[in-house]
Amino acid sequence: MARELRPGQRKYSPGSIAADAVLVGWFIFSLFPLVWMVLLSLKSRSEQISTYFAFTPTLENFGTVLSDEGTRLTSVNFTEALLTSVINCVGAVIVSLVIGIPAAYAAGRWKYRGSNDVMFTILSFRFAPELMVIVPLFIIYNQLGIFDTNVGMIWVLQLVTMPLIVWILRSYFQDMPAELEQAALLDGYSRKRAFLMVALPLVRPGIAASALLAFIFAWNNYVFPLILTGSRHTPVTVAVTRFLGGGGQAYYNLTAAAALIAALPPLLVALSIQRYLVRGLSFGAVKS
């Protein structure tokens, strides 16, 4: 049963036990806030300010957050916020896929003049300070009447989803040998059919991974909706913060419940695409 050792791996020794201890230490640090969030979300109103770990768990906070009661306390309907987040993120990802797949394909398949300019301009969106764009957009949106709308959010979320999808997919298209599609052309398929029959199925894992990762980052975005939405189409990230300071009253247990609900979708999605995560997080720069 002796496994071969990878570079840098060592067999068991006192040193390796110490190393495991350090790892366990990190993971206590890493997971404690999440555990605490869950515990707090299960505490009743009267116990919310206690710092004890022993208490009588209740699920009533989730009911409160998702009901009119929560809306009354925060002036944001959390159920609608969830729906808004889903619509915005799914919409933004679909738009990015529809626009991004052809562009990623063109950039991965051909060298054409301006190809790098297009790609790097798209990448620069990822690194541009958001407020540089938001302030003018705030004014433009008000003029166009799309302030605090899903359309407005889907547009601006392209800054988050587009670079991710285009860059990841380009790296997938580059990895796919051109001769596969050429073979399809010679088999008598048009370029469109060759793309659909050969290229698309092969990059399907890349499409799924990049779309889901883009979904996560769109979901987690805060600064765009903070400024570009009001109270009607607020997504969950903004809605969660409303529980913190509702009229001088603090609702820690409700905040924790709302945070937990808001954090669950990205966590679940992330765990499902873990295998593709590294390539996605590095925009295709690191392949694993």
Partner 1 sequence: MTLTATPGKLERTGPPVRAVPPWRRKLRPYVLSLPAVFLIVGILYPFGLGVYYVFLNYAAQVPRPVLIGLANLTGVLSDAAFWNSAGFTVLYAVLATVIETVLGVGIALLLNRSSLIGRVLERVLILPLMIAPVIAGVIWGLMFNPQFGVLNYVLGLGSTFDWFSESRAMWSALLVDAWIFTPFVAVLVLAGIRSLPREPFEASEVDGASWFTMFRRLMLPMIWPYILVAVIFRFMDSLKVFDHVFVLTAGGPGDATRTLQIGAYQNSIITFKYSIGSTYMFLLWVIVFLTARYLVGVLGKAQRRAAGTEA
Partner 2 sequence: MATLTLSGLTARYDRTTALHGLDLEIADGEFFVLLGPSGAGKTTTLKCVAGLIDDVGGEVGIGGRSMTGVEPYERGVAMAFESYALYPQKTVEENLASPLRSGRLGSWTPAQQAERIKQVTTTLGIDHLLKRFPRELSNGQRQRTALGRVLVRPADVYLLDEPLSHLDAKLRAAMRAELTQLGEMSDTTTLYVTHDYQEALALGNRIGVLRDGKLVQVGTPEELWTEPADTFVARSLGQPEMNLLDATAVDGVAKTAGGVEVGVPAGVSGPVRIGIRPRDLTIGTVGAGGSADGADRLTIAGRVVLAERLGRAVELSVDAHGDRIIVVTTDQKVHEDDTVELSVERSAVHIFAAAEPGQDSERIGAAEPIRVAEVER
Q: Which residues pair with 249 in a beta bridge?
A: 246
Site for partner 2 in 151-180 (CB under 8 A): 177, 179-180
According to the binding rule CB under 8 A, does residue 114 interact with partner 2?
no
Site for partner 2 in 186-205 (CB under 8 A): 186-191, 193, 197-198, 201-202
**Residue number, 67 or 182, with CB nearest to partner 2:** 182
Phi and psi (nearest 5°) for 53? Answer: -95, -15
Query: Shortest approach of partner 2 to residue 251 CB, angstroms?
Result: 52
SS3 67: coil
Site for partner 1 in 56-85 (CB under 8 A): none
In the set 44, 71, 231, 282, which binds partner 1 (CB under 8 A)? 282
Radius of gyration of the chain (CA): 23
Size of the residue set binding partner 2 (CB under 8 A): 19
Write each residue from 177 to 196 as x if it is in contact with partner 1 (CB under 8 A), else as -, in one continuous string.
-----------x--------
In the set 57, 63, 136, 145, which binds partner 1 (CB under 8 A)? 136
Q: What Å distances lie between residue 257 and 40, 148, 247, CA to CA?
A: 8, 25, 19
What angle is formed at CA 110 by the lines to CA 186 and CA 214, rounded to 5 degrees?
A: 110
Query: Shortest approach of partner 1 to residue 267 CB, angstroms?
Result: 5
CA dihedral in degrees (116, 122, 124, 126; nearest 10)? -140
Given a contact cutoff of 8 angstroms between Cβ atoms, the answer to whether 187 and 133 are in contact is: no
Query: Shortest approach of partner 1 to residue 91 CB, angstroms?
Result: 14
Choose the one of partner 2, partner 1, none that binds residue 227, judging by a C-beta under 5 to 8 angstroms depending on kind.
partner 1
Choose the one of partner 1, partner 2, none that binds residue 185, judging by a C-beta under 5 to 8 angstroms depending on kind.
partner 2
Given a contact cutoff of 8 angstroms between Cβ atoms, the answer to whether 268 and 219 are in contact is: no
**Considering only 6-14, 137-145, 184-192, 210-218, which stretch makes contact with partner 2 by CB under 8 A?**
184-192
Structure tokens at 194: 């060759």
CA–CA distance, 94 with 117 (Å, rounded to integer): 24
According to the binding rule CB under 8 A, does residue 183 interact with partner 2?
yes
Choose the one of partner 2, partner 1, none that binds residue 201, judging by a C-beta under 5 to 8 angstroms depending on kind.
partner 2
Structure tokens at 259: 């945070």
